[in-house]
Structure 1
Amino acid sequence: MTARERVAKEGPSGRPTINDIARLAGVSKKTVSRVINESQFVKEDTRRAVQAIIQETGYVPDPQARGLAFRRSFLVGLIYDNPNAQHTIDHQQGLLEAMAGTGFELVVRRVDRTSPTLLEDMRAFIERQKLFGVVLPSPVSEEERLVSLLKALDRRYVRISSTPLDQPDRMVVSHDGKGAAQAAHHLAGLGHSHIALISGQEGRRSSSVRMKGFEEGLAEHGLTLDPNLVRRGAYTYESGVAAARELLALKPRPTAIFCLNDEMAAGAYLAARERGLVVGADISIVGFDDAPMASRLWPTMTSVRLPLRQMGRIAGEMLTSDTLHDKPPTPREIVPELIVRNSTVALRP
């Protein structure tokens, strides 16, 4: 009878527990715990025997139980509020990569930043899950009240933002403004001067930072952003369609549109086609983020690449590195990169 079969027959739930591993390996529960946590105080032959039983039975340590043993949790929270699902997915994948093999597990929680019970809900969530630490992507990273709560609860955190908001060892900074400036240089270099912009929601730091960076980039070419050519979007496809319809109805219409994310840029594609315009010929469109859709649309979209997955991985490493390797987290900064494709073209004389 295999170890797995013995557990299924003898265990009360059929699922292996640390007590089952100890019994099958002929060692104490404490020894099993030491093997799981890679303690150096275990003989090599004992370690191999315990690991073999763990592998055969499919035993998975309970992170909450490990937290009790170590007097801390092995759970990391990702708290987000973003209408763009791809952002969250990419951050989540990066975090999972960073935590692979560390014993840490990820708990994902969406919040509403405008909720009057935000802090009460977050306190209950953090204490109920006994979180070791939290990653705060934009725009949640801008919530100083939430950061103050994390400090009061003595929880570690890392913030992901387009600009520095905190101490370097608590930040992953993406420098969105520099990416937007690259978009401005590109369009100006193609001869465009009558350029429109579709922004994000009011109050979103990323929107204001990207818009400022774009204006600074234009200024280096002696150009200014005409306020009459600016429309507010909401980082959604639908808002991009609506804003671009207004812009393309103007006389004269803009020859290029910079959208502060790819969702809105995809919406601008539709608005252009409704008016019989060919993207990449009659109108140039630039997005931001370089989401998967940017290379799947036709024509393929010129976009500012923001490495969201990499940013999530860095945040995960920063959050857990000192506990795993006895060294302080390393502050990291990211510079976006413009990816030129077929949605932009030189202005015809």
Structure 2
Amino acid sequence: MAMLERPARPVTHRPTIRDVSRLAGVSFKTVSRVINDQPYVSAEKRERVKAVMAEIGFQPSQAARALAGRRSHQIALICDNPNPWYVYEVQAGVRERCGRDKVRMIAQPYDRSSPALLGDIVALIDQAHPDGLVLAPPACDDRQVIEELERRAIPFVRLQPGARIDHVPATSIDNEQAAFDMTAYLIGLGHARIGFVTGERSYAASSQRLAGYLRALAEAGIAVDLDYIRQGEFDFASGKAAADALLDLPAPPSAIFAASDDMAAGVLVAAHRRGIAVPAMLSVAGFDDAPLAEIVWPPLTTIRQPVRHLAAAAADLLLTPGGARERRLDYELVVRESTAAPPAA
């Protein structure tokens, strides 16, 4: 191919489609067709346009491609969680799967308590034109958001949702069964007074894990004591506050199961400050198997949920439509040094 002639007026600004048109000696419409991989362009003109784009460093606007009716090759992740590790793992999982298809991930953090959530998501769609969205908790259960996406016919996948919607793809673990297994494990060690620290109310996983705890007690014939159930927010401070309330009871629990590792770490600190040895005097269990679980002392017995794999699976469902509607991944009960049989009466 002949070398491109140097323009009389070099491009000194960010290259535009008009620059490509001028330097390649073709129409604006021809350049647009090449960018969007449309027919009716000769091979010679197509190569000439691509060569000019490479020489001047022109990058097509993803939004412009979307407005032209083509895929934007980007998906949006709507994610909020008080645990930075969880947010990172979700972003990493979606990003890794997107990378296989050379799709860009747009991560949109939001305030779950903000009344502007729906407006923020609509603005993101109008400005970035994503090909679809991954909705992490609790946005995945926001009825207004779901209805708006369905009205606009925008594909989306729900990550760890609460209520099932048959026609909407989702990825999850069985949170209820996982909490049941952990509670049953503590009962198997000999514990009958088991405290439970719930997660933040707007997350479906919180009620699912509470349901698993209650079912395990019922199947073991242990009466539910509401004083042993305390509200948490999935963070360290709420775990510590819940543990202080539990340990102040006239008959405190011999084991405390917190619905996240961050809250379980708060339980450990509350126990240590009172001189309560873990696990000799109090067993403590968490949920997630975040890196924190192995750093605290003693290391936490916990439920390992594959957050990154869940997020990657959600992105895969979005990028490969027409396949399975739901993917249920396995969890693992990880036993470490924070749990043991209760002290002898």
Q: TM-score, normalised by structure 2?
A: 0.83
CA gap 1:276/1:181 in 2 versus in 1, 3 angstroms = same
Residue 336 of structure 1 corresponds to which residue in structure 2? 331
Residue 306 of structure 2 corresponds to which residue in structure 1? 307
Distance in 2, Cα, partners of 1:103 & 1:33 = 20
Residue 296 of structure 2 corresponds to which residue in structure 1? 297
Q: CA RMSD in A?
A: 3.5
Distance in 2, Cα, partners of 1:43 & 1:305 = 56
Distance in 1, Cα, partners of 2:302 & 2:57 = 45
Secondary structure (helix, strand or coil) at the match of 1:289 reads coil
Structure 2: tracts of 5 or more residues without a match: none
1:112-147: CA deviation from partner (whole Å, max 9, x where unpaired): 343333323322222122122111111111101110
In 1, are the aligned partners of 2:141 and 2:161 still within 8 Å (CA)? no
Secondary structure (helix, strand or coil) at the match of 1:100 reads helix
In 2, are the aligned partners of 1:91 and 1:308 still within 8 Å (CA)? yes
CA gap 1:343/1:59 in 2 versus in 1, 3 angstroms = farther
Secondary structure (helix, strand or coil) at the match of 2:93 reads helix
Matches within 5 A, 1:67-216: 67-167=66-166, 169-216=168-215
CA gap 1:316/1:67 in 2 versus in 1, 3 angstroms = same
- How far did 1:57 drift? 8.3
CA gap 1:152/1:233 in 2 versus in 1, 3 angstroms = same
Secondary structure (helix, strand or coil) at the match of 2:257 reads strand
1:203-237: CA deviation from partner (whole Å, max 9, x where unpaired): 43211110111111233322233211111111111
Secondary structure (helix, strand or coil) at the match of 1:213 reads helix
Count how many residue pairs are aligned between Structure 1 and Structure 2: 339
- How far did 1:88 drift? 1.6
1:38-72: CA deviation from partner (whole Å, max 9, x where unpaired): 9999999x999999999998775543344345533
Distance in 1, Cα, partners of 2:301 & 2:55 = 51
1:12 and 2:12 matched: yes
Secondary structure (helix, strand or coil) at the match of 2:281 reads coil
Distance in 2, Cα, partners of 1:199 & 1:137 = 19
Among the aligned pairs, what percent are the same residue?
37
- How far did 1:197 drift? 0.7
Matches within 5 A, 1:6-85: 10-13=10-13, 62-85=61-84
Secondary structure (helix, strand or coil) at the match of 2:245 reads helix
Larger deviation, residues 216-225 vs 51-60: 51-60
- How far did 1:30 drift? 9.6
Distance in 2, Cα, partners of 1:98 & 1:169 = 19
In 1, are the aligned partners of 2:240 and 2:263 still within 8 Å (CA)? yes
Question: What is the letter of the counterpart of residue 339 of structure 1?
Answer: V
Distance in 2, Cα, partners of 1:303 & 1:50 = 57
Question: What is the letter of the counterpart of residue 12 of structure 1?
Answer: T
Distance in 2, Cα, partners of 1:80 & 1:56 = 38
In 2, are the aligned partners of 1:195 and 1:225 still within 8 Å (CA)? no
- How far did 1:191 drift? 0.7
In 2, are the aligned partners of 1:63 and 1:104 still within 8 Å (CA)? no
1:346 and 2:341 matched: yes
- How far did 1:74 drift? 2.2
Distance in 1, Cα, partners of 2:95 & 2:36 = 19
Distance in 2, Cα, partners of 1:121 & 1:24 = 40
